[in-house]
Structure 1
């Protein structure tokens, strides 16, 4: 029981701390909460949590299966670079506007969360690295399905907690953020482009 609890706590802590640096999902959930309300923000967060659970589980499996193959890493990094660049250009070219009442039903927050989380394939190397590190340090034991499931569940709930932290912060700073919400698309666009550049540098350094 203590082993399972340890797996959950470690997974949750690493995931929560990994969710705190400003990123695409954090900025998007702030935007969704202010434009479409708390229910939409919760739908977005749950979608991200679902994908994080799947990615975490796959990452644990890949740790022992195909992670050592260089082709897999090259394919993942190249796919990430392409998607980040495309998303960055999309948001930079998008016509920004101030929020209106119609925005509350304009898009599916759950679908948006699924889409952005699915293309966030950088979660693979993140969890591959930390899973290997945590198991080597002895902080996590993945011997058996229950221990793996609890560890991945901690990862998913850590992501949910981290995203909801930003929702709470956005509600407290509502007036300030709403006044500048129309600038979020540009911020997200440059963030995507910056991540694409970093990914390109990583790819070039590994060749």
Structure 2
């Protein structure tokens, strides 16, 4: 039982801390909350959490294989480089189109917010090597095994920690009513800049790999 609690605590904390810095997913959660209402932001965060649990399941399954075959990580990084570059251009163009528009808060479809959360989280391919590495470290420390209950706890804790970070962004920006309009107009530029930063970081990681 102590081992399960330790695994739950560290996995939840690692997922929460990884999702806390401003990035594509949490800023989109805040953006959904600002533009479509808090409920849509929460649904977006839930979609992200579900996608992270799917990625974590894959990460656990291929953890040993990734460690023995470094070319798998190289392929994932190559794909991530292309995606971040395309997304940077996409958000910049979207920001230019939105700059001269009047921002109106509307209640969007919660199902669409959930699907968008799942999609954006799934294209974040760096999550798989991250949770594979985390799984390997925990296994080396002795509190992560490949028993079914450990895998379930690991996957659920990763999703739970991610959702908590998403919810905090939704709650925080939802309360900043006086800054809602400014955030809505500039959020796409912020996301584009973050994509450029992630593109640079991923390139550095790839060429130093």
TM over 0.5: yes
Counting only pairs closer than 5 Å after superposition, residues 41-52 of structure 1 correspond to structure 2 as 41-52=41-52
Aligned length: 205
Which of 116, 128, 131 pairs up with 2:120?
A: 116
Cα offset for 1:98?
4.2
Structure 1's unaligned 5+ residue stretches are: none
Please state if 1:159 is matched with 2:162: yes
Structure 2's unaligned 5+ residue stretches are: none
SS of equivalent residue, structure 1 residue 21: coil
Which position in structure 2 is the counterpart of 1:91?
A: 91
Q: Deviations along 1:141-177, whole A, 9 cap, x unmatched?
A: 2241111111111111010111101111112222223
Cα gap change, 1:169 to 1:116, in 2 (>3 Å): same
Please state if 1:38 is matched with 2:42: no
Cα offset for 1:114?
1.3
Which of 155, 159, 172 pairs up with 2:175?
A: 172
Mean alpha-carbon deviation: is it higher for 84-93 or for 177-186?
A: 177-186
Runs of 4+ in 1 over 6 A off after TM superposition: none
Which position in structure 1 is the counterpart of 2:198?
A: 195
The answer to whether the Cα contact below 8 Å between 2:40 and 2:110 also exists between their aligned partners in 1 is no
TM-score, normalised with respect to structure 1: 0.91
Q: Deviations along 1:75-132, whole A, 9 cap, x unmatched?
A: 1010000011001100111112442145735992112111110110111121122222
Q: Deviations along 1:40-87, whole A, 9 cap, x unmatched?
A: 112111110111001111111211234421221111010000011001
